[in-house]
Amino acid sequence: MTTSRLLTGLSAFPLTPIADDAVDERAFVRIVERLATAGVDSITALGSTGSYAYLDRDERRQAVELAVAAAGEVPVLAGIGHVRTREVLRHADDAQAAGAAALLLAPVTYQALTDDEVLTLFADVSSAVSVPVVVYDNPGTTHVSFSDELHARISRLPHVEAIKIPPVTGGVDVVRARVGSLRSAVAPGVAIGISGDAVAADALVAGCDAWYSVLAGTLPGPCRAIVDATSAGDAQEAQRISGQLDPLWRLFGAHGSYRVVAALAEELGAVAHPCLPRPVMPLDEGGRADVRAALATLREEGLVEQ
Amino acid sequence: MTTSRLLTGLSAFPLTPIADDAVDERAFVRIVERLATAGVDSITALGSTGSYAYLDRDERRQAVELAVAAAGEVPVLAGIGHVRTREVLRHADDAQAAGAAALLLAPVTYQALTDDEVLTLFADVSSAVSVPVVVYDNPGTTHVSFSDELHARISRLPHVEAIKIPPVTGGVDVVRARVGSLRSAVAPGVAIGISGDAVAADALVAGCDAWYSVLAGTLPGPCRAIVDATSAGDAQEAQRISGQLDPLWRLFGAHGSYRVVAALAEELGAVAHPCLPRPVMPLDEGGRADVRAALATLREEGLVEQ
């Protein structure tokens, strides 16, 4: 198990708010500063929540530069995915030059890729970078299905030090089995982090090294508390806090975490409305009302300041 | 049924060959010139076969400009898809300025889109362009599933004049039923074209207005013959020629038409090897041997010059 703070603990995925079809620099900087203050272990700029797939090279460079400057001592990871290897390598160069401490790479596809092609992509990047690479296994957006064998091959490339796995449902024992089988397949020392906020408490209790968190990018407090409870061995407390967040997890399930967290950030006044890149549209009025209701519940329970 | 040649008959989808990570201009121009000489009804630059999803704005503008210049009197359609509406609109502007006669738009996704978001994308484009728009329904690459209701709504937008539907298998009667139900849903006069080369003869016999053809971008002769036979009312002859191409259709099914047609173009000397944008890799030696064998069969049958 990797002990570096860089690839363990709580990594917060901030939105990259879009206003007038450009990155809203002031809002983004404010978000990142708040995350650093909240004591997250790392900040992943340009995750899926950070709209990386919609941003061009200049916008991505801008976002990583702003994030590194605003994050202070907190390490910044940067998403670099693109359908074309050439662009991935350019993003990797830019992110490293901007001070990213690690790179998050999803094999974004248009034509479906074979396992050998996915491996080739990671090999091309691996041989061109000097910071750790996190394998971003996100079948919901990339439509790439990683087998353990593919993970094993990629994990043996230089600089590949972590894997961000998709949600595993079914409780602690199921996650423990899943992580155990993946750990036995991949290179020793490769950190395994969970995505899918609703299952994160279970996954941390089950031994995942990191939580790559959508919600922590907007509401770091309760996420920090979940990770701290797990670190202190208090599984029950971690799961209790996660249970308090159920109204949000249900909305994530219904509308996708991306649109819900954008609406939440809008309600909190952290970003302007709308803040997602077209053609992605904000939640409709019914969805926004649900987000407001969930937020009211969280405020009543003291998870969000009044 | 639209009678304009622009959106009916045989539209050939050329490769945009990539060499040294850039568009191979000479090879691309030669391909387009050959298609014009072969008498295709239109040339669609920057289809999926033309790797549009992998090319940046400058490369796309370059490809459309080259295609329009090389196509002579043959109209050129241009693919403009991108995950972000802003980029789609830029591609539309560039393609129109370069002389594209129509635009082909697939709703490329990263985050899954709702039907309303897909409609919004087409509405944004529709209100910004002055040439016909072809709706590119390609679930295999975009992961968007078009209902007939969504097609109906989009078809009523200004400038939307045609739909490129995904393959329909099961024979002439099945395609006729599918096209009939789609036609009754969409705005009158919207042309319906088939993709999926293996089923094109059946689809044309069943009344499809156009064949958006991968193979015709590299081997227009037999595709032209299939369309001409159908136009002459000779369904049997169209299906006989399509049957002769079965060795290729089988390889399309096994490896995807994109990689197979690239290998075919390489074997024919039309492009250098490799010609696809990384991380997409050329067929392996076994696949290439199959393509060579298929090509030898086609040569024996006189479908390809010796």
Residue B48 at interface with chain A, using a CB cutoff of 8 Å: yes
pLDDT at A35: 98
Query: What share of chain B has pLDDT > 70, as a percent?
Result: 99
pLDDT at B3: 46
List the catalytic residue out of A52, A164, A212, A258.
A164
Could you give the CA distance from residue A77 to residue A134 in angstroms, rounded to a whole number?
9
Is residue A258 one of the residues assigned to a domain? no
DSSP codes joined into one string, A196-214: -GGGHHHHHHTT-SEEEES
- Chain A residues close to B278, C-beta within 8 Å: 84-86, 120-121, 124
Is residue A252 one of the residues assigned to a domain? no
Nearest CA distance, A24 vs chain B (angstrom) = 16
Query: What DSSP designation does A303 have?
Result: S
Is residue B263 one of the residues assigned to a domain? no
Q: CA nearest A52: which of A18, A29, A76?
A: A18
Is residue B57 one of the residues assigned to a domain? yes
Q: CA nearest B5: which of B103, B105, B76, B93?
A: B76
Residue type (1 letter), A220: P
Is residue B181 one of the residues assigned to a domain? yes
Could you give the CA distance from residue A48 to residue A194 in angstroms, rounded to a whole number?
14
pLDDT higher than 70, residue B234: yes
Could you give the CA distance from residue B185 to residue A19 in angstroms, rounded to a whole number?
37
Tokens matching residue A158: 């230089």
Task: Kindly indicate the confidence band of residue A244, based on its pLDDT and cuts at 50, 70 and 90.
Answer: very high
- Chain B residues close to A122, C-beta within 8 Å: none
- Chain A residues close to B141, C-beta within 8 Å: 110-112
Rg (CA), chain B: 18
Q: With CB atoms and an 8 Å threshold, state whether B141 touches A83.
A: no
- When divided into structural domains, chain B yields a total of 1
Is residue B271 one of the residues assigned to a domain? no
**What residues of B act catalytically?**
136, 164
List the catalytic residue out of A52, A54, A110, A136.
A136
Q: CA nearest B159: which of B128, B120, B188, B205?
A: B128
Hey, CA dihedral for B191, B16, B53, A144, is it positive or negative?
positive
pLDDT higher than 90, residue A4: no
Q: With CB atoms and an 8 Å threshold, state whether A85 touches B279.
A: yes
- CATH number of the domain encompassing residue B113: 3.20.20.70
Is A191 in contact with A209 (CB distance < 8 Å)? yes
Mean pLDDT of B173-202: 97
Query: What share of chain B has pLDDT > 90, as a percent?
Result: 97
Could you give the CA distance from residue A30 to residue A270 in angstroms, rounded to a whole number?
8
pLDDT at B15: 98
Query: Is A218 annotated in some ligand binding site?
Result: no
Q: With CB atoms and an 8 Å threshold, state whether B124 touches A279.
A: yes
Is residue B285 one of the residues assigned to a domain? no
Task: Kindly indicate the confidence band of residue B80, based on its pLDDT and cuts at 50, 70 and 90.
Answer: very high
Q: With CB atoms and an 8 Å threshold, state whether A279 touches B143.
A: no
Residue type (1 letter), A107: P
B7 CB-near residues (< 8 Å, 6+ apart): B42, B102, B132, B134, B161, B162, B191, B193, B209, B210
- Tell me the backbone φ, ψ of residue A44, rounded to 5 degrees: -100, 100
On the question of a cis peptide bond just before residue A274, with omega within 30 degrees of 0, the verdict is: yes
Compute the mean pLDDT over every residue in chain B, rounded to the nearest whole number: 97
| Domain hosting residue B18, numbered range | 5-232
Tell me if ipTM is over 0.85.
yes
pLDDT at B5: 77
Tokens matching residue B19: 């060499």
Owner of token pair 């392996």? B284
Judge residue B213's burial from the number of C-beta atoms within 10 Å of its C-beta, 0-12 exposed, 13-18 middle, 19 or more buried.
buried
Tokens matching residue B145: 């599933």
pLDDT higher than 60, residue A107: yes
Residue B81, Ramachandran bin (φ over 0: left; ψ between -120 and 50: alpha; else beta): beta
Q: With CB atoms and an 8 Å threshold, state whether B114 touches A256.
A: no
Summarised one tens digit per residue, pLDDT across range B259-293 is 999 999 999 999 999 999 999 999 999 999 999 99
Q: Respond yes or no: is residue A258 known to be catalytic.
A: no
Nearest CA distance, B192 vs chain A (angstrom) = 24
Owner of token pair 């595993």? A168
Helices (H), chain A: 25-37, 57-71, 85-97, 115-126, 139-142, 148-155, 172-185, 200-205, 220-231, 235-244, 246-255, 257-267, 285-300
Is residue A95 one of the residues assigned to a domain? yes
Is B141 in contact with A143 (CB distance < 8 Å)? no
